[in-house]
A = this chain, B = another copy of it.
Amino acid sequence: MTHKIGLVGLGAIAGKSHLPAIAGNAAFELVAIASLQGAMDGVPLYRDHMAMLAAHPEIAAVVVCTPPRARLEIAADALAAGRHVMLEKPPAATPGGLDFLAGVAGRHGLVLHTAWHSQYNAAVDRARDMLAGKVLARLHIDWKEDVHKYHPGQEWIWNAGGFGVFDAGINGLSILTRVLARPLFALGAELHVPADAAVPVAAQIRFSDGSDAVMTGDFDWGWTSGDLREIHIETAEGQKISLTASGGRLLVDGVEVLAPQRAEYREIYADFDRLLREGVSRVDGAPLALTADIFLAGQAVAAPAVRH
């Protein structure tokens, strides 16, 4: 028996990642799409998620791939209509919004799945195992890429609730919170907010886990020298553990120990299938909570305009 899916938001991430993963997993069947853009041959298209849900009572689960700000209302509507929900990352615009959705899912006995795709890497799991119980000496995360390469012409990324550089950088934070498996918080941050944007294009961050470890981050969406998405950790015992290639590759003391072929969305849907069969939610609010920490502890500094 397959899980019948309705997908909301047929943008870049849906086309590139969700549709292939759904097509490649026999446990799922895509029965309808709600989107203001795009279309898919042979799949009924609706302009509105409510119209889609009304026309397709057979939809058991809704996958939400819209920009972050729209997710809460869509997810709440879907849950209220008795459908399970998977959310692209970040699962909501704020931690409070995610808490609300988790409460709704719990009250309705429905599955909510926060799909932090960067966590779905074998190298991340291995690093987590290696770091379990370890005291750290230092940690640095670089998350740098060219926004114009990945979000050409998109406006929502620069608006309040659009996250700015943290739209990408929250992937790095999702790896960080996963591998450390302990509460992280922000000590301070410089948030470089462009003159024509509500959210930062770059940020330097000081983190802590409450230990003496020195933890820093450098996030930059104006980086044009190739993607740099790396986490470097040194334990108190002197072991160096690095996750490079956006969590895809693990190096220990400079030697590569794991670099499997990337299969993030295949794993996300395999996980969602398990969660649906078991009737269990997976709600991970830690990366979003750490992002909120950074915004609250951060100091805005002026940066040049970014829109064209």
Contacts and interface: CB of A to CB of B under 8 A. Distances in A.
A94 B186 contact: yes
Contacts of A96: 183-186, 289-290, 293
A200 to B, nearest CB: 10
Interface string A96-123: 1101100110000000000000000000
Contacts of A189: 160
Given A76-B210, A104-B210, A210-B76, A99 B185 contact: yes
A256 to B, nearest CB: 32
Contacts of A186: 94, 96
Contact of A297 (B94, B99, B100): B94
A245 interface: no
Contacts of A160: 188-189, 297-299
Contacts of A296: 93-95, 161, 291-292, 295-296
Contacts of A161: 188, 296-297
A300 interface: yes
A183 B92 CA distance: 14
B100 A289 contact: no
Nearest to A90: B296
A76, A208, A293 — most chain B CB neighbours (10 Å): A293
B293 A95 contact: yes
A95 B186 CA distance: 9
Given A94-B297, A95-B292, A100-B208, 15 more contacts: A72-B185, A93-B296, A93-B297, A94-B186, A94-B293, A95-B185, A95-B289, A95-B296, A96-B184, A99-B185, A99-B289, A159-B299, A289-B292, A292-B296, A296-B296
30 contacts: A72-B185, A76-B210, A93-B297, A94-B292, A94-B293, A94-B296, A94-B297, A95-B293, A95-B296, A96-B183, A96-B185, A96-B186, A96-B289, A96-B293, A99-B183, A100-B185, A100-B209, A100-B210, A104-B210, A159-B299, A160-B297, A160-B299, A198-B298, A198-B299, A198-B300, A289-B292, A291-B296, A292-B296, A295-B295, A296-B296
